[in-house]
Structure 1
Amino acid sequence: MPQPGLLWVNSKITSPDSITPSNFKKWYEDEHIPDVLATKQIHSAYRYKNIDPSSDRPYLALYPVPDMNFLGSKEYFDIPVTSNYFPGPGHRCFDFADFDTRYYEFVHGFEKEGVKSG
């Protein structure tokens, strides 16, 4: 039986001389999110930016996952991590940003009485 959950990714640019916040955002929104959504298991993504400018990790991405088993699959690990948005020779996102990735399984949902479900 599928176990729904949430993929939580908090990130920061570690090489600001090599990639600007604008290019990081373009990579995330123009390449990475579409690559993630191209998988069979992740159907939506949400990006946030911390409103505190002194935050050590200003970026947050949330991905609802219908089946947590997906996060251990070959398809998940095959999501591209390289892009021309990042300098060469490897063009790897991990060489220019740090990602704190966590997996959360669904426990329980609550909704306000009288509110349409979903």
Structure 2
Amino acid sequence: MAEAIQGPGMLWVTSRIATSSKDILDENTFLRWYDDDHIAEIVRCSGTKDAFRYVHVNKESALGSEAVPKPFLAFYPMPDLRFTQGDEFKQIRVRSDILPGSGIIYDLADIDVGYLGLIEKSECHKKKEPAQYMLTFAIEPASKTSDDKVNKFCNEVQFYLSDLEYLIAKCAQQMAIISKAPGYLRSLRFRLLYARTNAQSRALKGLPTTNEPNPEPPTWLAVHEFSSEPSTEIKRSMEQDQNDVLKRAKQKEIDIYRLAKVHGNGKFFE
């Protein structure tokens, strides 16, 4: 069940061209719809003036792959997620003349949407433009892991960042490693409030749909911004972290994305 969808946060949207559409929808057309039609309409709305489109650095195909199921990422920072509950948001079009066939994006692509509430962000004095790369770490802790324990883990890591001697002694701490990596800018942390796939999105738009259960993606997301591509060693250190919270997690996803397009004012909780 969704938590209260309100307060600062963002829509986090990952997607791929559906296998059933591969013969009629090419990648260039899909991205032209995203940039020239869909995102352009969204940033004209009153609830958000910023949007970003990234692509996974290990993208193999616009159809996705086993390693990277949904290679395209778009996200929309909002001062108040309550905007997504109003009529203006619900009237955003999902049909376009740019698209082939029915012109309905949910007939042509597989799209996952997460409503993410902002928990905290680190300070950054080096960032002067949108991050060229993002390393993301998503986790769903074990069912008996309390929010307090997750917060304690995150807060302890943040404390280690301020102490260089302790950082060296505890180099296995993932955040300590990340913060010292070349090109590191800052980190933001979010909590999942609600998620939907095509089935729920079709219902939101009044389209015929199926009785598909709501998705259950990871419940916490950390976004680490970089001015240059993070090394494979950083990602490997995160994957091998032996912290108890991470070892017992139900889900753990680590990804790196490259900036493709900035829309609107280009502000990400600056």
The two structures have a TM-score, normalised by structure 1, of: 0.89
Match of 1:101 among 107, 113, 138: 113
Partner of 2:236: none
Counterpart residue number, 2:82: 69
Supply the distance in 1 between the matched residues of 2:48 and 2:56 (Cα, whole angstroms): 24
Inter-partner Cα distance in structure 2 for 1:116 and 1:41: 28
TM-fit CA distance, 1:116: 6.7
More helix by share: 2
Distance across 2 between alignment mates of 1:27 and 1:116: 33
The amino acid of 1:39's aligned partner reads: C
Bigger mean CA offset, 52-61 vs 92-101:
52-61
Measured in 2, the distance between the counterparts of 1:107 and 1:4 equals 9
2-side partners of 1:93 and 1:116: how far apart? 38
Give the whole-Å Cα distance in 1 for the aligned partners of 2:38 and 2:109: 13
Say which SS state the counterpart of residue 50 (structure 2) adopts: coil
- 1:92-112 CA-to-partner distances (Å, cap 9, x unmatched) read 011000110000111112114
Which residue is equivalent to 2:32? 26
- Structure 1 runs, 4 residues or longer, greater than 4 Å off: none
SS of structure 1 residue aligned to 2:11: strand
Aligned to 1:40: 46
Structure 2, gaps ≥5 residues long: 1-5, 128-269
Q: 2:56 — aligned with what?
A: 50
Aligned residue in 2 for 1:4: 8
Distance in 2 between residues matched to 1:51 and 1:16, nearest whole Å:
21
* Deviation of 1:78 (Å): 0.6
The amino acid that maps onto 1:67 is D
Instruction: Answer with 1 or 2: which has the greater Rg.
Output: 2
Q: TM-score, normalised by structure 2?
A: 0.40
| Larger RCO: 1 or 2 (CA < 8 Å, sep 6+) | 1
Letter aligned with residue 114 of structure 2 = R
Report what 1:111 is aligned to: 123
> Which structure carries more strand by proportion?
2
Deviation at 1:66, TM superposition (A): 0.8
Superposition deviation, residue 82 in structure 1 = 0.6
Q: CA deviation at 1:76?
A: 0.7
Q: CA RMSD in A?
A: 1.6
Matched with 2:194 is none
